[in-house]
């Protein structure tokens, strides 16, 4: 079956992508690792000994980064609907974040303790319908924010991927109500054509 022009363009871009080659060289599972590394370099989010929740973790590049930076005294808790091969020092739950039973199994890992940082690179399966995809994306963002509101310690930080569109302004307002500071980040590793950006909520209000 012949590839479409768009899939050929994606393949060409992927094969020639600087961050893809760098990830392969440095042992990260995906180029997305460099988005988190760049944001962390600027904002110093991840420090030794921290407890980090990674929502939408597969294939695991953000968990790899977080585990390395928190070190042996820290903990990383990963969750995704997709299977994720094990990563040393990362506890993983596979399941749909939208289901209470899955969320219950995940939060049980925390043993009643609040986390220092929540990171979320989740995105829905793309249907091709822009309105539907935006609604699905915002639902995941809202659920991630609810998780942070419940399980993030006062003063903790929250990093989440968003797509600007329907619901964005309301979501930004909810972020500002929850955190002392809210900033936008567009790391160099984000492809120029992508509408994705990251919202960083710093210092969760007590």
Q: Report the candidate in 51, 60, 74, 52 with the shortest Cα–Cα distance to residue 32.
A: 60
Taking the C-alpha atoms of residue 150 and residue 115, their distance in angstroms, rounded to an integer, is 10
The answer on whether 100 is annotated among ligand-binding residues is no
* CA distances (Å), origin 163, targets 57, 181, 198: 18, 20, 8
The answer on whether 157 is annotated among ligand-binding residues is no
H or E segment at 67?
helix 61-70
Q: Catalytic residue numbers? A: 161
Specify whether the CB–CB gap between 92 and 53 falls below 8 A: no
Q: Report the candidate in 200, 204, 106 with the shortest Cα–Cα distance to residue 160.
A: 200
The answer on whether 121 is annotated among ligand-binding residues is yes
Taking the C-alpha atoms of residue 70 and residue 47, their distance in angstroms, rounded to an integer, is 5
Residue 172, token pair as written in the block: 């930004």
Q: For 51, which DSSP code?
A: E
Taking the C-alpha atoms of residue 72 and residue 60, their distance in angstroms, rounded to an integer, is 18
Taking the C-alpha atoms of residue 134 and residue 81, their distance in angstroms, rounded to an integer, is 19
Question: Three-state SS for 12?
Answer: helix
Annotation: binding site for S-adenosyl-L-methionine: 60, 62, 80, 96, 121
Annotation: binding site: 60, 62, 80, 96, 121
């Amino acid at each position: 079956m012949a590839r479409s022009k768009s899939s050929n363009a994606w393949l060409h871009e992927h094969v020639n992508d600087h961050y893809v080659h760098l990830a392969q060289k440095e042992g990260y599972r995906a180029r997305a690792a460099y988005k988190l590394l760049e944001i962390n370099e600027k904002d110093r989010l991840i420090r030794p000994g921290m407890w980090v929740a990674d929502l939408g973790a597969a294939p695991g590049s953000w968990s790899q980064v977080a585990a390395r930076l928190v070190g042996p005294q820290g903990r990383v808790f990963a969750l995704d609907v997709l299977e994720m091969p094990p990563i040393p020092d990362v506890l993983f739950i596979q399941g749909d974040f939208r289901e209470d039973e899955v969320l219950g199994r995940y939060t049980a890992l925390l043993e009643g303790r609040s986390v220092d940082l929540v990171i979320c690179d989740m995105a829905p399966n793309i249907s091709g319908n822009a309105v539907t995809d935006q609604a699905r994306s915002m639902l995941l963002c809202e659920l991630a924010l609810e998780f942070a509101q419940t399980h993030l310690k006062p003063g903790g930080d929250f990093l989440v991927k968003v797509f600007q569109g329907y619901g964005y302004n309301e979501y930004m307002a909810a972020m500002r109500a929850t955190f002392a500071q809210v900033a936008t980040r567009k790391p160099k590793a984000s492809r120029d054509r992508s509408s994705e950006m990251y919202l960083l909520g710093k210092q969760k209000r007590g």
